[in-house]
Chain A
């Protein structure tokens, strides 16, 4: 069956079409305002049609012209043998005296074409009159009188609600507020076409409940807060509001058309409020809601390469945080110089960097950082190959289940976690860019420790974690001393504690035998991943908010106070001298001076 929709290109027409097509109607839509052409072809358009919908005849044309078109459409419909015509009218037709006894029924008086009525009301009345003129034909006529819709696509409806949201009650029209969702209007229109007993009737179509202006203002403002402010948790649940007597009686539609609105006032208002907030946000009156991502994740997600062409050295890059850090830096565009002991794991890292289209190829140096001789060799190779290192990440770290001395006579925990970082940094400092970064991976564990210059190698009462905490304490002291020496003229010095990370650091070097460490392994599921830890570390050199700062200490992604015990200038200077002496002792030549 053919159905014709005559409208002014509104979303309602499209919705009605979408509602009719699944019911196997052949739907044709024409724009009534498209010009004279529609009227010229109206006989052709209506031929063979079973029903015609006349939606929004349009207020942009002179009234007489629209009225004339209406008359032509009706007579054409009668000529074409259309069975039924459905007019979408407006509740503005009711005269001001209509609501004298409260609820307005369909039989209530409507405006005459007089001067007291508003322009829109007079227009709507003339359209209705034209619709019903010449009612001696066989055409069945159904009129739906509808209040303003909760139509988020209609700028007029939205701007009215917007001024109510912003200005409050003074922007409200007097009286109860009763409207309708377009989806419900659509189903009413379909019923008006299909229900045979509807012929010749006028129906009020509106939601069945009404709210007072006070409730409208309160609810719109609650929605405004909820939809613009992430912290508006007290606005999350809607309070219970009182309902008002409805302005328009809809019982006739409910009886004859079986009209049952499915959309609640509240969800319709929420849709409109969301549209208002979208507009306000576009205009800059509401804070932007673009997700605030950490700089690293934002760069990875947008595939931007902030480190393009930069050389980054990562020690301990074959597993754990270091490996993830190497991959991450490479995805950010950096040329990664990976350092590790395990050549096989190093080769597989390089393979990954080569294979992945998002990564940048890097290079690998095999070195055992617990030995000063290897650190020296590594440093010399780096200095020879690179003149402008952007960042050095002193990441390599280890714990040992029992006290181990390196062949060079240094306690292994101290050698790997501290002395290697000291040695490598001081040796390659001259090739680290002045705008570059030195990042030392520390641990919050250092806070409950200290450094005993009389027993740097933990020869009395060795505990793995205690030895680790001391070495990290020394690393903090070194970082602070380095910050002082470099001041503003050299690379930034940054320290970070990545938190408890799901790595193998506690499963190696016979640590499985230490029952006091078992508790850490039981907590693995609550630890963060190496990948997340690496993103905290990489963030230090990417994040614009941190750019200007040197000598800061981060606990994961939060800046925290540096332990005062690690900043004592005398102790730091002493540690520096001791470290130089230790390196010298293990090598034959002295460490270069740092100015």
Chain B
């Protein structure tokens, strides 16, 4: 089957591409011309340059395509404003949906758990797939939520009028290559472990999902009959707070020791209950393979903190 991936160099798109490399699908990617050099597996895929706002480029890119993975959606680092969110997430999706109408059989879209109603306090847990949506949070999160809800509605309404089937994935915080959130958190904590308290308060309980697991969820969502025209939360099993991140970092850096000084405070700050339960994907046989510890190990290894003079290690975060 011929498949198209939009946003193939992004935090999620690259893992969807990676997952597709293990299938026998013929893969075509649709990417901005200036991001082509950042796409992996360039020798094994077909490249279609263009932007979503350009119907002609989309028309060419969609030739013979039966399945589309739409991962070209953005979420705001502090500098992205509402207009850009609207342009990429809403207008981009609208343009793609119009081009896909009646041509592709299923569109798998990567939305975000940001679209759900506020779910911060433990009395609301666990959040599941069909929780109602309401944009919320600070102005940037609000704008992101609004743009994603609009983009989702475009897809839902197109499916209602028979344009194609969809599968709407809503991942929690994405970990993996090109995931600034996890990297920033770890960088802040390794420079100043005492920031854990304020970061715990800010982010409270998180359930990261690694790109690898989102990739496998996307493939499942593209094929599984029970996931046709469904909305799905994508989340790992493990609820963690900033204190758990510190504690896990200590474990990674102190292999074989069991006197983790952060274990107790991490356990005190963790309610121990999952915030998200991806019921639909679990019922379809999906579960996350990457633990929070794997995600942290990956970042620590990649950023080479061991050699960084900027990292201010507390005496008890011993290296080796």
Contacts and interface: CB of A to CB of B under 8 A. Distances in A.
Interface string B242-266: 0000000000000000000000100
B157 interface: yes
Interface string A344-359: 0000000000001110
B117 A525 contact: no
A524 B85 CA distance: 13
A531 B146 contact: yes
Contacts of B270: 267
Interface string B118-144: 100111110000011111000110110
A356 B140 contact: no
B145 to A, nearest CB: 10
B272 A264 contact: yes
Interface string A223-267: 000111110100011111000000000000000000000001011
Interface residues of B, number: 32
A301 B267 CA distance: 37
A17 to B, nearest CB: 16
Given A237-B269, A271-B273, A527-B139, A291 B117 contact: yes
B81 interface: yes
A531 to B, nearest CB: 6
Given A267-B273, A291-B134, A293-B117, A525 B140 contact: yes
A270 B273 contact: yes
Contact of A528 (B121, B142, B272): B142
A227 B273 CA distance: 10
B268 A240 contact: yes
Contacts of A236: 271
A483 interface: no
Contacts of B122: 226-227
Interface in A183-236: 226-230, 232, 236
B194 interface: no
Nearest to B272: A267
A59 interface: no
B223 interface: no
Given A228-B123, A526-B139, A291 B82 contact: no
Given A529-B146, A532-B142, A289 B123 contact: yes
B121 A266 contact: no
Contact of B267 (A226, A230, A266, A293): A266
A42 interface: no
A293 B81 contact: no
Nearest to A527: B139
A444 B141 CA distance: 25
Contacts of B198: none
A22 to B, nearest CB: 12
A301 B268 contact: no
B231 to A, nearest CB: 12
A560 interface: no
A529 B90 CA distance: 14
A330 interface: no
A376 interface: no
B161 interface: yes
Contacts of B153: 358
B165 to A, nearest CB: 15
B140 A227 contact: no
A270 B123 contact: no
B146 A230 contact: no
Nearest to A233: B121
A294 B132 CA distance: 11
B135 A266 contact: no
B272 A266 contact: yes
Interface string B194-223: 000000000000000000000000000000
B273 to A, nearest CB: 5
A274 interface: yes
Nearest to B271: A270
Interface string A514-551: 00000000001111110110000000000000000000
A502 B82 contact: yes
Interface in B141-167: 142-143, 146, 150, 153, 157, 160-161
Contacts of A502: 82
Nearest to B264: A240
B123 A226 contact: yes
Contacts of A270: 271-273
Nearest to B270: A267
B284 to A, nearest CB: 16
A532 B135 contact: yes
B276 to A, nearest CB: 14
Given A266-B267, A357-B160, A230 B121 contact: yes
Contacts of A238: 267-269
Contacts of B150: 531
Contacts of B118: 291
Interface string A275-289: 001000000000001
Given A357-B160, A357-B161, A525-B82, A291 B146 contact: no
Contacts of A356: 157
A227 B123 contact: yes
A133 interface: no
B112 to A, nearest CB: 17
A278 B142 CA distance: 30
Contacts of B140: 525
A226 B117 CA distance: 19
A237 B200 CA distance: 11
A550 B309 CA distance: 66
A229 B124 CA distance: 9
A358 B139 contact: no
A297 interface: yes
B260 to A, nearest CB: 13
A266 B82 CA distance: 42
A543 B309 CA distance: 58
Interface string B268-283: 1111110000000000
Nearest to B147: A529
A528 B273 CA distance: 34
A267 B273 CA distance: 7
Nearest to B81: A525
A302 to B, nearest CB: 8
**Which has the most chain B C-beta neighbours within 10 Å: A237, A301, A528, A531?**
A237
A357 B132 contact: no
A529 B143 contact: yes
A298 interface: yes
A238 B131 CA distance: 28
Nearest to A526: B139
B123 A229 contact: yes
A301 B271 contact: no
A301 B133 contact: yes
A402 to B, nearest CB: 27
B190 to A, nearest CB: 23
Contacts of B264: 240
A291 B124 contact: yes
A271 B131 contact: no
Nearest to B243: A237
A298 B125 CA distance: 20
Given A238-B268, A268-B272, A298-B132, 8 more contacts: A227-B123, A237-B269, A239-B268, A267-B272, A277-B123, A358-B153, A528-B139, A529-B142
25 contacts: A226-B123, A226-B271, A227-B273, A229-B123, A230-B121, A230-B123, A238-B267, A240-B268, A264-B267, A267-B271, A270-B273, A274-B125, A277-B123, A289-B123, A291-B118, A291-B131, A291-B134, A357-B157, A358-B160, A524-B82, A525-B139, A526-B139, A527-B139, A531-B146, A531-B150
Interface of B: 81-82, 117-118, 121-125, 131-135, 139-140, 142-143, 146, 150, 153, 157, 160-161, 264, 267-273
For the complex of A and B, 10 pairs with smallest distance between CB atoms: A267-B272, A291-B117, A230-B121, A270-B272, A238-B268, A301-B132, A357-B160, A526-B139, A525-B81, A270-B273
